[in-house]
A = this chain, B = another copy of it.
Amino acid sequence: MAVDAHGGDHGLSATLPAAFAALREDSGIEIVMVGRREDIEAALADTPDASDKALRERLDFHYVESALPMDVRTVTALRKGEGSSLWEAIRLVADARADGCVSGGNTGAMMALGVRLVGMLPGIERPVLMAYIPHASGFTAALDLGANLSVTERQLVQFAVMGSLTAEKVDGIANPRVGLLNVGHEESKGHMIVQAAHALLKEVPINYIGFVEGNDLYAGTVDVAVCDGFSGNLIIKASEGLARMTMSQLRQAFAGSLRGRLGAWLARPALVRMLAGLDPSAHNGAPLLGLRGVVVKSHGHADDKAYMQAILEAAQAARKELPQRIDSLIQQYHLEA
């Protein structure tokens, strides 16, 4: 696994401990940290795990000169990003020197460099971003989260197939239930594109259960929810905004009075467990599907534990040969866009 040492808000103080934790967690992986030499050496000096020789044997380094800023423009990443940690991490995958890569860097830059360096699977036009939305009893994999603002019915079908395969092969969900997001459950609902995709999806060999609504994302009705990237992006950001507001109001509610503060202190363990379940980084690691290789996006604000999950997710996707399987199913059922 190639790991972008500088991807994400916390840089090496999250990515290096995450790499060691991933090596410990999954004995079948080796990691190449891609980053600036001086930063990596400084971080190693600060990381207790660095003295573990068995782990160090499975950790290699690929030194680069620069790192892209989190707010880099896509066009800048493409034109001037060569030699940066993100570019090099993705290039290691393109050159088959790594089986997959992980970065918490800029999403648009990752997608553009993924397409440019690794390339798309035949018949697939654009990569799709999948994320895991936590609900009371697990996760709903949702895609697209913003890579494709306008979609055709065939693209929606491709998203469904890619999402289903990822849920099954990477996340180990048997026969994942796939739903198409729409304004109602009824057959007659929705605009022409979701109507056409709905008809096509009935013929595809996945466990397609039909239309689902926005609230189904949090009800555990489906394992995979499919929509265009415009709606998907608005939904996920609105949910993040609501979750953030709820947590802040909860804190205020408890802080308001002595009685509230005492109640909060007593209920703290239960509340902490609950809030951890709401935390989007509880399942970190959003694969960019449709590429010829494994490229996984971590939350920018992921801490070491969350970043480790993204590395393990990438390792699992590589081990299950996810891109090859997607390719085979797309070709087999003539699902080219």
Contacts and interface: CB of A to CB of B under 8 A. Distances in A.
Contact of A231 (B234, B252, B271): B234
Interface residues of A, number: 59
A239 B237 contact: no
B235 A217 contact: no
A205 interface: no
B266 A150 contact: no
Contact of A270 (B215, B217, B235, B263): B263
Interface of A: 135-136, 146, 149-150, 181, 183, 190-192, 213-219, 227, 229-231, 233-246, 248-250, 252-254, 256-257, 259-260, 262-271, 273-274, 277-278
Main secondary structure of the interface of A (DSSP, over half): helix
B236 A214 contact: yes
A259 B266 CA distance: 6
Contacts of A271: 253
Contacts of A278: 246, 249
A254 B267 contact: yes
Nearest to A257: B270
A215 B230 contact: no
What are the 7 closest A-B residue pairs judged by CB atoms, nearest first? A263-B267, A215-B241, A214-B237, A263-B266, A214-B238, A218-B241, A253-B274
A73 to B, nearest CB: 9
Contacts of A249: 136, 274, 277-278
A269 B220 CA distance: 31
